[in-house]
A and B are shown apart, each in its own frame.
Chain A
Amino acid sequence: MTDAPRRAGFLATMRAVLWSFFGVRRRQAYIDDAGSLNPLAVVVAGVLAGAVFVIVLVLIVQWVIGVAAA
């Protein structure tokens, strides 16, 4: 792990949120997260990632239905 900044940037916040979607995180990375993440940014990133998650699922479903229809 590189040194965590005092305030995590957009990418670091997104990375933490995406790991939370998977449900696994290295302890050191988690400690860095807890020290540097801005809770408000986490909420925004969470909503954003949630929307992306739903869109990706919808695309997969559309693709499956397309394949089944063909």
Chain B
Amino acid sequence: MAAVTPDQLHGHHAPGGVMRWLTTTNHKDIGTMYMIFSFIMFLSGGVLALTIRAELFKPGLQVVQPEFFNQLTTMHGLIMVFGAIMPAFVGFANWMIPLMIGASDMAFARMNNWSFWLLPPAAILLIGSFFAPGGATAAGWTLYAPLSVQMGMGMDMAIFAIHIMGVSSIMGAINIVVTVLNMRAPGMTMMKMPLFCWTWLITAYLLIAVMPVLAGAVTMILADRHFGTSFFNAAGGGDPVMYQHIFWFFGHPEVYIMILPAFGIVSQIIPTFSRKPLFGYASMVYATASIAILSFAVWAHHMFATGMPAAGQLFFMYATMLIAVPTGVKVFNWVATMWRGSLSFEPPMLWATGFIFVFTMGGFTGLICAIAPIDIQVQDTYYVVAHFHYVLVAGSLFALFAGAYYWLPKWTGHMPSEFLGKLHFWCSIVFFNITFFPMHFLGLAGMPRRIPDYALQFADFNAIASVGAFGFGLSQLIFIVVVVKCIRGGERAAARSWESAEGLEWTVPSPAPYHTFEEAPVVR
């Protein structure tokens, strides 16, 4: 393989210090910045979540005022979705896709820099909106009209932040599509691509398709707020429910934008630690495509309670339940990969198997929510909160940690501490379930979401959930220790850091040199 070794690094004339990071067009630098950014946002969103849980520890109002509580739930959602999960996956894509397909960099290296550096201003706008008159937006992360038409300038700041993050996402997605389609090494046919590249290719198409829809929705809100239009104002002939249709036409594919790359990461890790090739590679690709296609035909399952005709409810209910088929294909393929494999449970594998277990539970509660008559009961209760945290925390976040532990040796040149990695995993999965499992019961018993106070009968489960949340939050600090230790030193990682890891990324030295595959490798 024609990898560049570290002693060849010093030939290039790049600026040092801060300017290196501001002006970099290197996919590894940009990937690193994406991941650091997303982790900072993850901690920020986490602090908001812990404030929410502190308030909900017991009935009554103790910690925050109701108005501020609504800002917390809204901003927690926006920050985690747009600031933490999505950029983290783009970071992984930046770092790993060129290494996996044997490309020297991303296709549009300067646009790559721009798509990252749009994010910090967007984050400042979003988080800064807490300090605007009237505070941050409190309309819920979905920004439903008419609430979102009524709020103070914090709402405008959130709208602009979403515009900027949307532009960033679209540019990132275009970059990934072009890189995957045009820059594969000779012999790296589409069907030889690692599954992570496939899932990101499909995710990138989803992003390009739906981010403009979100931009349109929030722009219409902006116009309703300031320019005298009445898109969503019933008094002016508009329709607030139309906002929900437009938002969820973005929102449901968005769910898959946040989970398909996670599927890709898990599909890299399971075969490595099972010491077997991935079972059903082709069906994995087809299942990913299937999920992506179906995701466009299910949006109104988020809106059963808005009062749609029975025919509409049935259509969206049937379409939604069909998604269980390709998702089931994936879960069975992962389990079949592990079946009779020579398994070992290093931290990446622990996180990946944890992902399969807990994500599947979230998938099943999703199926329950998809049944219209049940959804009418659990709509806007903690059951839904439990469901989407099972798929987004135990799904996306666990897969991100799995991927981080898997590729940390490639990024830093040192093996992550196995003890701390395992501690991080076990603390996370135990506290995660302590936090979110009781929420199923709370939801079934009728506790509404986004409310700072609650009736006495909900007290015990809320106390348990709050204790779990603080345990979960504190457990994440272990990850900082792992990463810092990994950067500073430790056991040196071999080029192929895990015994049976397959793929081009393991043919370059660890840490990966600044420039890799300047001469394309030939894949047999």
Which residues from chain A sit less than 8 Å from chain B, CB to CB? 19-27, 29-31, 34, 46, 50, 53-54, 57-58, 60-62, 64-65, 68
Contacts and interface: CB of A to CB of B under 8 A. Distances in A.
A8 B329 CA distance: 26
A61 B325 contact: no
A22 B286 contact: yes
B318 A61 contact: yes
Given A54-B297, A58-B315, 20 more contacts: A20-B289, A20-B293, A22-B325, A23-B287, A23-B326, A23-B330, A24-B283, A27-B282, A30-B282, A30-B285, A30-B286, A46-B293, A50-B296, A50-B297, A53-B297, A57-B315, A60-B314, A60-B318, A61-B311, A61-B318
| Residue of A57, A60, A62, A64 contacting most chain B CB atoms (<10 Å) | A57
11 contacts: A19-B286, A20-B290, A20-B293, A21-B290, A23-B291, A24-B287, A25-B282, A25-B286, A46-B293, A50-B296, A65-B310
Nearest to B319: A57
A33 to B, nearest CB: 8
Contacts of A65: 310-311, 314
Contact of B280 (A24, A54, A57): A24
A34 B190 contact: yes
B206 to A, nearest CB: 13
Contacts of A34: 189-191
Contacts of B289: 20, 23
Nearest to B323: A23
A20 B286 contact: yes
A47 to B, nearest CB: 10
B21 interface: no
A58 B189 CA distance: 39
A61 B293 contact: no
Nearest to B312: A61
Nearest to B289: A20
Contacts of A20: 286, 289-290, 293
B281 interface: yes
Max chain B CB contacts within 10 Å: which of A21, A31, A53? Answer: A21
Contacts of B325: 22-23
Interface in B279-321: 280-283, 285-287, 289-291, 293-294, 296-297, 310-311, 314-315, 318-319
Contacts, number: 68
A34 to B, nearest CB: 4
A38 to B, nearest CB: 13
A26 B289 CA distance: 15
Interface of B: 189-191, 280-283, 285-287, 289-291, 293-294, 296-297, 310-311, 314-315, 318-319, 325-326, 329-330
Given A34-B190, A54-B297, A64-B314, A26 B282 contact: yes
Closest 6 CB pairs of A and B: A23-B326, A30-B282, A23-B287, A23-B290, A61-B314, A24-B283
Nearest to A68: B310
A27 B311 contact: no
A23 to B, nearest CB: 3
Contacts of A61: 311, 314-315, 318
A62 B318 contact: no
Nearest to A26: B282
Interface centre among A20, A22, A58, A68 (most CB of B within 10 A): A20
B286 A24 contact: yes
Contacts of A50: 293, 296-297
Contact of A21 (B285, B293, B314): B293
B293 A24 contact: no
A57 B325 CA distance: 16
B326 to A, nearest CB: 3
A39 B250 CA distance: 25
Contacts of B191: 30-31, 34
A41 B46 CA distance: 46
Residue among B190, B282, B318, B325 with most chain A CB within 10 A: B282
Nearest to B315: A61
Nearest to B327: A23
A62 to B, nearest CB: 7
Nearest to A19: B286
A4 B68 CA distance: 63
Nearest to A49: B293
A30 B293 CA distance: 18
Contact of B281 (A19, A23, A27, A29): A27
A31 B283 CA distance: 12
A57 to B, nearest CB: 6
Contacts of A62: 311
A22 B281 CA distance: 15
